[in-house]
Amino acid sequence: MRPEFFQTLRSPLLLGAIALFIALGWVSSPYHLGIATQTMLYIALALAWAIVGGFAGQLSIAHNVFVALGALLASALFLKNGVNIWAGMVICAALSALIGVFFAYLDSRFNLGHLSFALVTLAFGEVGFLLVSGWDFIGGASGLSLPTDEGHFLLFQFGGVRGYYFAALALAVLYLVISFAVLHSRLGFYLRSLRDNEAAAQAIGIFPFRNKAIAMAISAAMTSVAGTLYARFSNFVDPAFLASPVLGIEIILIATIGGLTMPLGPALAAIVLVPFSELLRGMLSNFPGLSHIIYGILIIVVILWSPRGLAPWLATAMGRISSRRNKVPLAAK
């Protein structure tokens, strides 16, 4: 692991932000805690996707399949077979990782370009949604209702909205650490090399399938785990949302707006966009559709204003401010 990884983890800004979010968990109302929990879950989902979409440059539009596996299958195993949700979460994460490796195999076997890979995964995402909607074991189109949370941690219950907020916060922080670890590891270097020039990377001995398969497996498993927590937090597992390709595109949108080259990018975008969307929807509930229009305009403005993403823009702005402070006027020398 490169020294930059440990320097990042010791960053006062990062530690201060985590401390602030912990404090918010104790002072926020249940309504705002619900929005904050969704924000943390979207941070986790966007960070998981960015390992493939950002570091490896693979535009996977099938991550809704992994969310659905973690949410629906783990819940169904618990309700119909008595499998503890913790165990179901591990089973679904392993299954998602295998599917991710299969996607990487298709990419390597048929030498798919970025657009072709995106279209293939989109097709898998649509097929997955149709299979989920028609599979009675996992609730079919009607979904599944989980039992009331009674605060039993061993049964994957976290004791109310505040408990789920801290669970989602812990997951988001863990995924942020994993993202930084991948970025500053040999795997991260290989993935960026394959993204920028696959032919040149192969010429220096980097194996595309092995590294992309590892990245897809990590990303898919992380997405599945976040899906399991999302299902338990929601209490009702709705396949029309959790298995929908629209959710996968929403995750991609958040990660892209934040900036795919920096792990803080997806987190920053989720912190801005998710609360804004939820609060706007609540304030404009009497005007159906207006919140979506305003939200869409905001996204367009952000993309036009900072095409590389929010995090790279923020890093550039902070660098300019720092350079101005450190600049010594010639007259003072």
Q: What is the mean pLDDT of the chain?
A: 89
Most confident residue range from 157-161, 172-176, 263-267, 299-303: 172-176
Residue 285 DSSP one-character state = T
Q: Give the model's pLDDT for residue 333.
A: 46
CA dihedral 96, 308, 265, 104 (to 10 degrees): 20
Q: Is residue 57 scored above 60 in pLDDT? A: yes
What is the total count of domains within the chain?
1
| CA gap 297, 287 in Å, rounded | 16
| CA gap 275, 107 in Å, rounded | 36
Residue 300 covered by a domain: no
Which range of residues forms the domain containing residue 8? 3-258
Q: Give the model's pLDDT for residue 331.
A: 44
Q: Provide the H-helix boundaries in 284-328.
A: 290-305, 310-326
The answer to whether the beta carbons of residues 70 and 89 sit under 8 Å apart is yes
Tokens read off for 178:
């994993």
| CA gap 23, 84 in Å, rounded | 31
Exposed e or buried b for every residue in 150-173, given b needs 16+ CB within 10 A? eeeeeebbbeebbbbbbbbbebbb
Comparing 167-181, 256-270, 308-322, the range with the smallest average pLDDT is 308-322
Residue 330 covered by a domain: no
User: Computed from CA positions of residues 243, 230, 115, 110, in that sequence, does the dihedral angle turn out positive or negative?
Assistant: negative
Residue 289 covered by a domain: no
pLDDT in tens, 307-323: 788 888 887 777 777 67
Q: How many CA atoms lie within 13 A of 65 on its CB side?
A: 23
Confidence of residue 329 (pLDDT cuts 50, 70, 90): low
pLDDT in tens, 3-43: 777 788 888 889 999 999 999 999 999 999 999 999 999 99
Strands (E), the chain: 144-145, 236-237
Residue 68 covered by a domain: yes
What average pLDDT score do residues 168-178 get? Answer: 97
Residue 322 covered by a domain: no
Choose among 37, 107, 94: nearest CA to 66.
94
Q: Give the model's pLDDT for residue 263.
A: 87
Residue 50 covered by a domain: yes
| CA gap 34, 26 in Å, rounded | 13
Q: Give the model's pLDDT for residue 327.
A: 61
Residue 295 covered by a domain: no
Residue 297 covered by a domain: no
pLDDT in tens, 207-250: 999 999 999 999 999 999 999 999 999 998 888 888 888 899 99
Q: Give the model's pLDDT for residue 11.
A: 86
Regarding predicted confidence, which is higher, 60 or 299? 60
